[in-house]
């Protein structure tokens, strides 16, 4: 089994290579023949004779080479013979037309082939040790639509692009017309495990349970990591159902006062009102000790008022009694903070797809085609990881 070095992300490594080397290495990880077979036209009319595998290669090369339109891809295939050859298309005839490229893209969409290829690549990455899958981070990203803007009510009827708003990392409210790309990412490799696309107005937390189930179907997930926007009971319950722990900061914006005798992060207080000391996990229970006994506070009554034991009073809290408030590991402990920091992996994955690929540069209409467009971008990241892993193996051999 070959395992990529920590913090070494293959997409950036692939981008550093010269163009003439980059595409052959990228395509070396992909066997597109099974998918291309399903794209062959069976119509006796208008057969264009273009290799469907070559067109599929070109559609995957487009986001890698930052081409976001069929006209731009056609122009590149027409003018750049090396590019056309590397895609596996013949040089003794004209490049595929814009209409042909668009038609094949529509076939990909109608037959769900992009999703199938994506899922097959995720499986391969797991088999080769590139993806671990035990820690998963989720988040959404704003995707702008190449569609005519409409009033929000009218957009909701179509199920396509709509108006959305969310707060950026600086606390500013950002509005846009389009979609949301919901990503589930392996925190170790920063590679996508599953994705979903919704109109922009859909709440992030509403999509999380289904995405969690999709990821956990093929991997044993220990932790799901989210930002505070996912702080909803149903997300904790969904993680618990999958035998995993949701790591989510509590959203205090609409938070009511915590129950009497408990701090806002779920730490019980002793009879003197001091927060007790977290002392580990015992099955489904969090263990807390007298803060005076652990040296955290200097209680005027000492330990005698609470317990006759030299160990001090011990309290065990069942995490199942309030899945949202109680977490294992306990909220705000060093371990919990370490796990939460892994959430940045999904931010970096989103950034790569939007900045270096074409996730936010769409020129297709309708949510089904938008989904295919996003899958093609995600496939580039997975194929890059597989391609570079093969390259490293050859160098090491």
Residue 1 resides in a domain: no
Which pLDDT score is estimated for 4? 39
User: What confidence tens digit (pLDDT) does each residue in 49-61 have?
Assistant: 678 999 999 999 9
Residue 332 resides in a domain: no
- Is residue 65 located within the same domain as residue 153? no
Phi/psi for 230 (5° steps) reads: -100, 10
Give the DSSP H/E element, type plus range, for residue 91. Answer: none
* pTM of the shown model: 0.90
Using the 3D structure, point to which of 273, 303, 327 is the last residue of a domain.
327
Residue 310 resides in a domain: yes
Phi/psi for 142 (5° steps) reads: -75, 135
Residue 333 resides in a domain: no
- Is residue 113 located within the same domain as residue 179? no
- Is residue 221 located within the same domain as residue 350? yes
Residue 124 resides in a domain: no
In angstroms, rounded to a whole number, what is the distance separating the alpha carbons of residues 199 and 203?
A: 10
Mean pLDDT by 10 residues, the chain (397 residues): 45 78 90 90 54 94 94 96 93 92 95 97 94 95 88 73 83 89 96 96 93 92 95 95 95 73 88 90 92 89 79 90 92 93 95 94 93 97 92 72
Length of the chain: 397
Domain span at residue 162?
132-250+342-368
- Is residue 378 located within the same domain as residue 355? no
- Is residue 53 located within the same domain as residue 164? no
Total domains in the chain come to 3
- Is residue 85 located within the same domain as residue 40? yes
In angstroms, rounded to a whole number, what is the distance separating the alpha carbons of residues 350 and 341?
A: 16
User: What confidence tens digit (pLDDT) does each residue in 372-384 have?
Assistant: 999 999 999 999 9
Q: CA separation (Å) from 59 to 52, 63, 332, 395?
A: 10, 8, 45, 29
Residue 169 has, within 13 A of its CA and on its CB side, a CA count of 5
Which pLDDT score is estimated for 155? 66
Residue 375 has, within 13 A of its CA and on its CB side, a CA count of 22
- Is residue 348 located within the same domain as residue 263? no
**Whether the bond into 329 is cis, omega within 30 of 0:** yes
Residue 64 resides in a domain: yes
Which pLDDT score is estimated for 301? 84
- Is residue 362 located within the same domain as residue 216? yes
Which pLDDT score is estimated for 48? 56
């Amino acid at each position: 089994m070959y395992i990529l070095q920590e913090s070494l992300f293959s997409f950036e490594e692939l981008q550093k290579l010269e163009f003439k080397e980059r595409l052959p290495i990228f395509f070396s990880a992909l066997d597109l023949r099974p998918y291309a077979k399903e794209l062959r036209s069976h119509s006796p009319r208008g057969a264009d004779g273009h290799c469907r595998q070559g067109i599929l290669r070109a559609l995957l090369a487009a986001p890698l080479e930052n081409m976001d339109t069929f006209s731009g891809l056609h122009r590149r295939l027409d003018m750049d013979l090396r590019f056309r050859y590397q895609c596996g298309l013949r040089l003794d005839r004209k490049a595929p037309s814009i209409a042909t490229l668009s038609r094949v893209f529509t076939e990909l969409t109608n037959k769900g082939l992009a999703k199938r290829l994506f899922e097959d690549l995720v499986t391969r990455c797991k088999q080769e040790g590139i993806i671990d899958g035990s820690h998963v981070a989720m988040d959404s990203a704003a995707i702008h639509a190449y569609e005519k803007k409409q009033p929000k009510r009218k957009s909701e009827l179509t199920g396509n692009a709509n108006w959305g708003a969310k707060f950026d990392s600086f606390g500013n409210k950002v509005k846009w017309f389009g979609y949301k790309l919901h990503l589930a990412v392996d925190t170790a490799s920063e590679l996508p495990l599953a994705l979903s696309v919704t109109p922009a107005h859909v709440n992030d937390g509403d999509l999380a349970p289904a995405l969690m189930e999709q990821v956990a179907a093929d991997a044993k997930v220990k932790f799901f990591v989210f930002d505070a926007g996912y702080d909803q009971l149903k997300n904790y319950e969904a993680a618990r159902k999958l035998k995993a722990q949701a790591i989510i900061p509590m959203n205090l914006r609409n938070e009511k006062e915590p129950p009497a005798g408990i701090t806002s992060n779920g730490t019980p207080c002793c009879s003197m009102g001091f927060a007790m000391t977290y002392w580990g996990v015992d099955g489904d229970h969090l263990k807390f000790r007298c803060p005076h006994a652990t040296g955290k506070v200097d209680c005027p009554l000492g330990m005698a008022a609470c317990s006759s034991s030299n160990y001090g009073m011990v309290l065990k809290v069942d995490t199942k009694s309030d899945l949202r408030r109680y977490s294992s590991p306990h909220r705000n402990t060093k371990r919990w903070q370490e796990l939460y920091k892994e959430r940045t992996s999904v931010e970096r994955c989103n950034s790569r797809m939007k900045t270096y690929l074409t996730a936010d540069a769409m020129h297709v209409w309708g949510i089904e085609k938008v989904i295919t467009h996003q899958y093609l971008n995600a496939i580039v990241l997975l194929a890059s990881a597989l391609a570079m892993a093969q390259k490293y193996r050859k160098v090491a051999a």
